[in-house]
Amino acid sequence: MENHQIEKSKVQKLEDAIGYMDNSTVSRQIIKIPSGNITLFAFDEGEGLSVHSAPFDAFIQIIDGSVEITIGGVKHNLISGDFIIMPANIPHALKATKKFKMLLVMIKS
């Protein structure tokens, strides 16, 4: 059985910590504590998240590939190495223009 826990005190590469799955979105929590969470995502090309909002700011860093992120009706095209902060309570959505991986960091107030 595969261990899905992230091993602590071990140097790792973000892009290797999650894999792609055809026609799917994959997520893997790295840290989840009451004050926030860090989650890795891998989206196949064409996959995405529909319009929604969150009660906290969210930091997104693109690890691989490219994505179109819409925040408050404004489209942003991000590629590997880019990051953006999605403000709390503002509708946002994303769609993979190519398969991509991202790191999501959400810190609660």
Q: For residue 93, what are the domain limits?
A: 20-107
Indicate if the pLDDT at residue 2 is higher than 60: no
Note the pLDDT of residue 109: 72
Reported residue count of the chain is 109
pLDDT band at 4 (very low <50, low <70, confident <90, very high): low
Cα 23–Cα 44–Cα 103 angle in degrees, nearest 5: 135
pTM confidence score:
0.91
pLDDT band at 9 (very low <50, low <70, confident <90, very high): very high
CATH number of the domain residue 58 falls in: 2.60.120.10
- List the 100-107 sheet strands across, edge first: 25-33, 36-43, 100-107, 58-64, 83-86
**pLDDT per residue over 75-93, tens digit each?**
999 999 999 999 999 999 9
Q: Does residue 11 lie in a domain region? A: no
- The count of structural domains within the chain is 1
Q: Does residue 53 lie in a domain region? A: yes
